[in-house]
Chains A and B, each alone.
Chain A
Amino acid sequence: MENQQRNFGTWQITSIMISSMIGVGILTIPRTSTMLLQQAGWIGPISGALIAGVAVTAIVYLGNQFPGLTFVEFMPRIFGSVIGTMCICLFILYQFFNAGITARVFGEVVVTSVLPDTPLEVIIVTLLLLVLFLCCHEIEVVARVNELLIPFLLLPSLLIPLVSFMNADWYNLLPFHVESWTDVVKTGLDTYTLYTGYELLMVYFAFAIPGARLGVASITGMSFAFVVYMISVIAGISVFGYEELQRLIWPTLELVKVTQRTGWFLERFESAFLAIWVASVFTTIGNMFYATIFSLRQWFRKGIRFQRISAIVMMVPLFFFSLIPQNIVELYSYLKHLTTMGYMVTIFIPILLAITQFMRNKINKGRKENIEKGGT
Chain B
Amino acid sequence: MSQFFQAWQKRKEALQSKALEQYSVESMESVSDVTLTTNVEENIQLIEAQFGKCDDLVVRRFQTKSKAQAAIVFIDGMVDRNVISDFIIRYMTTPDITYHDPATNELDLTDKLRQIVRNILSGCAVLIIDGCRNAYLNNTRGWDRRSVEEPQTESVVRGPRDGFCETLCVNSALIRFRLKDPNLRVRHMVVGERTQTDIYVMYIDGIAYPPIVEEVIARIESVHVDSVLESGYIEQMIQDRRWSPFPQIQNTERPDKVVANLLEGKVGILVDGTPFGLIAPAVFSQFYQSPEDYYERFYIATLIRFIRIISISIALMLPSLYIAFSAFHPEMIPSRLVIAMAAGRSTVPFPSLVEALFMELAIEILREASVRLPGPIGPTIGIVGALVVGEAAVTAGLVSPVMVIIVAVTTIGSFASPSYSAAIAIRMLRFPVMILAGMFGLYGIMLFLIVILIHLSSLKSFGVPYMSPLSPLNLNGMKDLFIRVPHHLFKTRPMMFHVQDKIRIREEDNPK
Seen from chain A, the residues whose Cβ lies within 8 Å of a Cβ on chain B are 7, 9, 11-12, 110, 114-115, 118, 122-123, 126-127, 130, 133-134, 136-138, 141, 143-145, 147-149, 265-269, 271-272, 274-276, 278-279, 282, 304-305, 308
- Other than the given A126-B440, A275-B441, A278-B443, 4 more pairs (CB < 8 A) read A12-B472, A114-B441, A126-B444, A127-B447
Given the interface contacts A144-B467, A275-B442, does A138 sit within 8 Å of B458 by beta carbon?
A: yes
Seen from chain B, the residues whose Cβ lies within 8 Å of a Cβ on chain A are 1-3, 328-329, 331-335, 440-447, 450-451, 453-454, 456-458, 465, 467, 470-473
Given the interface contacts A9-B473, A141-B458, does A275 sit within 8 Å of B453 by beta carbon?
A: no
Given the interface contacts A114-B328, A267-B335, does A148 sit within 8 Å of B446 by beta carbon?
A: no
Main secondary structure of the interface of A (DSSP, over half): helix
Which residue in chain B gives the minimum CB-CB distance to A265? B334
- Assembled-state Cα–Cα distance A122/B457 (Å): 26
Indicate if the CB atoms of A130 and B447 lie closer than 8 Å. Answer: yes
How far does the Cβ of A310 sit from chain B's closest Cβ, in whole Å? 14
A-side contacts of B329, CB under 8 Å? 114, 271
Which residue in chain A gives the minimum CB-CB distance to B337? A265
B-side contacts of A133, CB under 8 Å? 451, 454
B-side contacts of A147, CB under 8 Å? 470-473
Which residue in chain A gives the minimum CB-CB distance to B473? A11
Please list 9 pairs of residues, one from A and one from B, whose beta carbons are closer than 8 Å in the complex, sorted by A's number. A144-B457, A145-B453, A148-B457, A268-B332, A271-B332, A272-B442, A274-B443, A275-B442, A304-B3
Given the interface contacts A118-B440, A144-B467, does A7 sit within 8 Å of B472 by beta carbon?
A: yes
- Assembled-state Cα–Cα distance A123/B447 (Å): 11
Indicate if the CB atoms of B328 and A282 lie closer than 8 Å. Answer: no
Once A and B bind, how many residue pairs between them come within 8 Å at the CB atom? Answer: 102
- Assembled-state Cα–Cα distance A114/B442 (Å): 9
Indicate if the CB atoms of A148 and B3 lie closer than 8 Å. Answer: no
Contact of B446 among A141, A276, A304 (CB under 8 A): A276
A-side contacts of B334, CB under 8 Å? 265-267
- Assembled-state Cα–Cα distance A274/B451 (Å): 17
Contact of B333 among A114, A126, A143, A266 (CB under 8 A): A266
- Assembled-state Cα–Cα distance A57/B332 (Å): 44
Contact of B454 among A137, A265, A269 (CB under 8 A): A137
Indicate if the CB atoms of B450 and A130 lie closer than 8 Å. Answer: yes
A-side contacts of B444, CB under 8 Å? 126
Indicate if the CB atoms of B454 and A115 lie closer than 8 Å. Answer: no
- Assembled-state Cα–Cα distance A110/B440 (Å): 11
- Assembled-state Cα–Cα distance A125/B294 (Å): 47
Indicate if the CB atoms of B333 and A267 lie closer than 8 Å. Answer: yes
Contact of A271 among B328, B450, B458, B473 (CB under 8 A): B328
Indicate if the CB atoms of B332 and A130 lie closer than 8 Å. Answer: no
A-side contacts of B332, CB under 8 Å? 266-269, 271-272
- Assembled-state Cα–Cα distance A126/B467 (Å): 25
- Assembled-state Cα–Cα distance A305/B329 (Å): 41
Contact of A12 among B331, B335, B445, B473 (CB under 8 A): B473
Q: Which of A9, A137, A141 has the most CB of B within 10 A?
A: A141
- Assembled-state Cα–Cα distance A110/B441 (Å): 11
B-side contacts of A278, CB under 8 Å? 443, 446-447, 450
B-side contacts of A130, CB under 8 Å? 447, 450-451, 454
- Assembled-state Cα–Cα distance A125/B473 (Å): 32
- Assembled-state Cα–Cα distance A139/B335 (Å): 46
- Assembled-state Cα–Cα distance A149/B470 (Å): 11
A-side contacts of B328, CB under 8 Å? 114-115, 271
Indicate if the CB atoms of A149 and B450 lie closer than 8 Å. Answer: yes
How far does the Cβ of A29 sit from chain B's closest Cβ, in whole Å? 22
Which residue in chain B gives the minimum CB-CB distance to A129? B447
Which residue in chain B gives the minimum CB-CB distance to A7? B472
- Assembled-state Cα–Cα distance A272/B445 (Å): 11
How far does the Cβ of A19 sit from chain B's closest Cβ, in whole Å? 12
Q: Which of A133, A275, A305 has the most CB of B within 10 A?
A: A275
B-side contacts of A272, CB under 8 Å? 332, 442
- Assembled-state Cα–Cα distance A119/B350 (Å): 24
- Assembled-state Cα–Cα distance A126/B444 (Å): 9
Which residue in chain A gives the minimum CB-CB distance to B465? A144
- Assembled-state Cα–Cα distance A145/B453 (Å): 7
A-side contacts of B473, CB under 8 Å? 9, 11-12, 147
Q: Which of B456, B457, B467 has the most CB of A within 10 A?
A: B457
